[in-house]
Amino acid sequence: MAGAVVVLAGCGERSSERTAASGSRRDSAAAVFRVALLTPGPISDQSWNGGAYQGLLRIRDSLGASISHIQTKTPAEFEEQFRQYGSQGYQLVFGHGFEFQDAAKRVGPDHPRTIYVVTSGSSVAANVAGIEFGFADASYLAGMLAGAMTTSNVIGLIGGTELPPVKESFTAFSQGAKAVNPKVTVLTSYIGNWDDVSAGREQALAQIGRNADVIFQNADAAGLGVFRAARETKKALVVGSNSDQNGVAPEITIASVVIDLPHALLTVAREVRAGTFKPRVLKLGTESDVVRLVINPAFRARIPAATLRAVDSMRAELAAHRVDPLGPQR
C-alpha cells in the first residue's frame, strides 16, 4: 500500500507540473503581440502595398511581433479576413486603403479586443481608427517639377481607381504644375484597378500619344506599366508615388512622392503594444516627415537650378501653411 501511495503522489506531482507548464504556455501565447495586414494588391508593386508590407516587417523586427499578411480583392474578403483575424486574437489589424473603412466599421463591434486601423481612412469608432496621409504638399512640389520639365506643356495623371486621396493628390499636382507653367494642359485617366500592368502601360501610351511628356502615376502595381511605356517610347518622364520609386527606371524618373509607410505603421503599433492607443484619425504629412518629395539623385542634374530653388522655397511656404496646395478647387 505504501508503494501505491508513493506512485500516486508522484503522478499527482507530474500532473501538477503539466498543468503549470500548460498554463505557462498559454500565458506566453497571450503575451505575443499579433499584428496583421490586409492589402488590396500585391506586395511586389514597389509602391503602396510593398511599403505597407515593409512596415509590417519593421513591426515584427522592432517589437518582436507575430505577423500575418493577406492580399484581398473584394469588400466581402475585406470583412471575412477582418473577422478571421479578430477571432484569432490579433491585437492590431491594418486595412491598407480607404476602401477598407466600411468593413472595419462592421466588424469592429464584434471583436472589441482587436484594433482595426485603416490607412487613408477617416472613420473612428471604439476600436476603429484611421491614418490620413498629407499627400497634397509633396504632390504640389512634384507638380512644380513637372511644370518646369515639360516641353510639350502636356502632363498626365494616371490613377488606379478614383479614390478621394488619389483625386486630392492629382489636384495638388496640377496646381503645382500650373503655378510654374500656366500653359500646362492636364490629362487624367483611371485604369479601373490597381494590378493590371498592361492596362497601366496602355493608359500611358494613350497619354503619350496625346503629347504628355511627364506622367504622375498613383496606380500601385499597374503603375509599373507607366514606367514601362515611358521607357519604351523614350518620350515621357515619370513621377513615382507612395514608395521611393526612383530606382524603378532611374533614367526617366524625375522624383517620387514618398509615404514612409513603415514609420507610420510602426508608430501605431508601438502605441497599441503599450496599451496607450486611442482610436482617432492620425494625420501624418510633411510636418512629421512621413510624406515627402524625394528627387531622383540620378536625374537631379537635369533639373534647372532655378526650379530646385523654387521647390525648396515652396516647401517652406507649404510647411508654414502660407500656400494651399489644393488652391481654389478645395
More confident residue, 67 or 5: 67
Q: Judge whether residue 159 has pLDDT over 60.
A: yes
Q: How many CB atoms lie within 10 A of CB 48?
A: 27
**Per-residue model confidence as pLDDT tens digits over 102-112:** 999 999 999 99
d(CA 50, CA 41): 9
Calculate mean pLDDT across residues 53-65: 98
Q: What is the edge-to-edge ordering of all strands in the sheet holding 128-133? A: 66-71, 34-39, 92-95, 115-119, 128-133, 281-284
Long-range contacts: 107-116, Cβ < 8 Å, 24+?
A: 107/79, 107/82, 107/83, 110/83, 110/86, 111/82, 111/83, 111/86, 111/87, 113/86, 113/89, 114/85, 114/86, 114/89, 114/90, 115/91, 115/272, 115/277, 115/279, 116/82
pLDDT of residue 15: 39
The pTM of this model reads 0.85
| 275: region left, alpha or beta (phi > 0 left; psi from -120 to 50 alpha) | left
What angle, rounded to 10 degrees, do the helices at 197-209 and 224-233 form? 40
Which residue has cell 501511495?
5
Extended strands (E) in the chain: 34-39, 66-71, 92-95, 115-119, 128-133, 154-159, 185-190, 214-218, 237-242, 253-259, 281-284, 291-295
Mapped onto helix, strand or coil, the DSSP state of residue 293 is: strand
pLDDT of residue 19: 38
- Mean pLDDT, the chain, rounded, equals 91
Residue 249 neighbours by CB distance under 10 Å: 18
pLDDT at site 288: 84
- pLDDT for position 329: 52
Nearest-angstrom CA–CA distance, 229 and 234: 8
Q: Tell me the domains of the chain and their CATH numbers.
A: 33-133+262-284 (3.40.50.2300), 135-258+299-329 (3.40.50.2300)
Asked if residue 39 lies in contact with residue 194, where contact means CB atoms within 8 angstroms, the answer is: no
Please, are residues 233 and 225 in contact by the beta-carbon 8 Å criterion?
no
Locus of grid cell 493590371:
196
pLDDT, tens only, 175-186: 999 999 999 999
The Cα 253–Cα 259 span in angstroms is 17
Q: Considering all CA atoms of the chain, what is the largest pairwise distance in Å, rounded to the nearest integer?
A: 104
Report pLDDT digits (tens) over 1-43. Answer: 433 333 333 344 433 334 334 444 444 445 899 999 999 999 9
Residue with cell 504622375: 216
E-only strand ranges, 142-213: 154-159, 185-190
pLDDT in tens, 235-264: 999 999 999 999 999 999 999 999 999 999
**Cα 62–chain centre separation:** 19
Residues contacting 123, CB < 8 A, separation 6+ = 101, 104, 105, 130
Neighbours of 113 (CB within 10 A): 9
How would DSSP label each residue in 79-111? Answer: HHHHHHHHHTT-SEEEE-SGGGHHHHHHHGGG-
In this prediction, residues 189-205 reach a mean pLDDT of 97
